[in-house]
Chain A
Amino acid sequence: MAQNPAVNTLRSPLGRVRGLGSARGGTHHWFMQRVTSVALLPLTIWFAASAVFTLAGASYEVAAQWVAQPWNAVLLLALVLATFHHVAAGLQVVIEDYAKTEAGKLVGILLVKAMCWLLALASVLAVLRVAI
């Protein structure tokens, strides 16, 4: 990029900074991806350990009772929310990097966000239905 891009915008540099930067979200997206990754470390290891030691091959009653335990239900909800935030953030960056057209990028990101929202809501509803 030898040439500098010219920007025809009415926003001043200060305005951009106060509005959380030219990318509108500033570093928020990047930062939340890290925050969710830190949250997912203990949550995922807890769920994996539970899957290996309690849930693998468990009967319906055992699995349902496990989800219905208050602590398990709360941690499952946290796991689901952090997971889908992290998945949406990660897949968005992948699409931004590799999508060839602007339209493809927009559609791809919106589809990912829609899927993540729906799957997260379905998972939350499922946990609540078993737990309550």
Chain B
Amino acid sequence: MSMQDSREAAMIGRRTDGTTVRRPLSPHLQVYDMLQMSSFSSILNRMTGVAWSFGILLMVWWLVALALGEPAYQTAMGAMAHPIGLLVLVGMTVAAWYHTLAGIRHLNWDIGRGFSLPAMYRSGWAVFIGTVVLSVLTWLPAIPGAVEWIVAQINTHS
């Protein structure tokens, strides 16, 4: 393994005795058992992070529409109030809460705490349960409006 490409330098480090070593990258998905909570919670953090990166486009759209003026703002709000838009927003909420809670779990690991297997399982389940609870709480204020809307739909169609 001689280094031909200078860009590879980023992936090669030295041990304290001076010998070289290839830096590890994250192994690819197929090496993990996805039914294991540990690997599942880890890859889900990545997936929700990527999903949220795209979800951020909604915030950019909202801000830019606001700057463009009322017609653009109404279009953006209309799209987000559309059933598909709402579904995207709900999905975003779940992904965002998961990534936030899993992120806190990672920050805790980064300061060197919570590495024992029991602690890892506890924090993992806390993240899963917390995601569901916080997602429901986030959308709770929207429920009266949603019920009103459904009743109005039933009344106009009957």
A→B interface (CB under 8 Å): 1, 3-9, 13, 16, 22-24, 34, 37-38, 41, 44, 47-48, 52-53, 56-57, 60, 63-64, 67, 76, 80, 83-84, 87, 90-91, 94, 96-98, 102, 119, 122-123, 125-127, 129-130
Contact = CB atoms under 8 A, between A and B. Distances in A.
Interface of B: 1-3, 5-7, 9-10, 12-14, 18-22, 25-26, 28, 46, 49-50, 53, 56-57, 59-60, 63-64, 66-67, 70, 73-74, 77, 81, 96, 100, 103-104, 107, 110, 138, 141-142, 145
A38 B60 contact: no
A94 B46 contact: yes
A6 B73 CA distance: 58
Contacts of A6: 1-3, 20
B17 to A, nearest CB: 11
Contact of A7 (B12, B66, B77, B142): B12
Contacts of B59: 47, 83, 123
B7 A102 contact: yes
Nearest to A30: B110
Q: Which secondary structure dominates where chain A touches chain B? A: helix
A7 B20 CA distance: 7
Contact of B3 (A8, A63, A98, A122): A8
A16 B9 CA distance: 10
Contacts of B12: 5, 7, 22
Question: Which residue, B12, B22, B53, has most C-beta atoms of chain A within 10 A?
Answer: B53
Contact of B10 (A1, A22, A64, A130): A22
A123 B2 contact: no
A63 B14 CA distance: 54
A13 B96 contact: no
A1 to B, nearest CB: 5
A38 B74 contact: no
A102 B11 CA distance: 12
Contacts of B142: 52, 56
A126 B60 CA distance: 9
B26 A41 contact: no
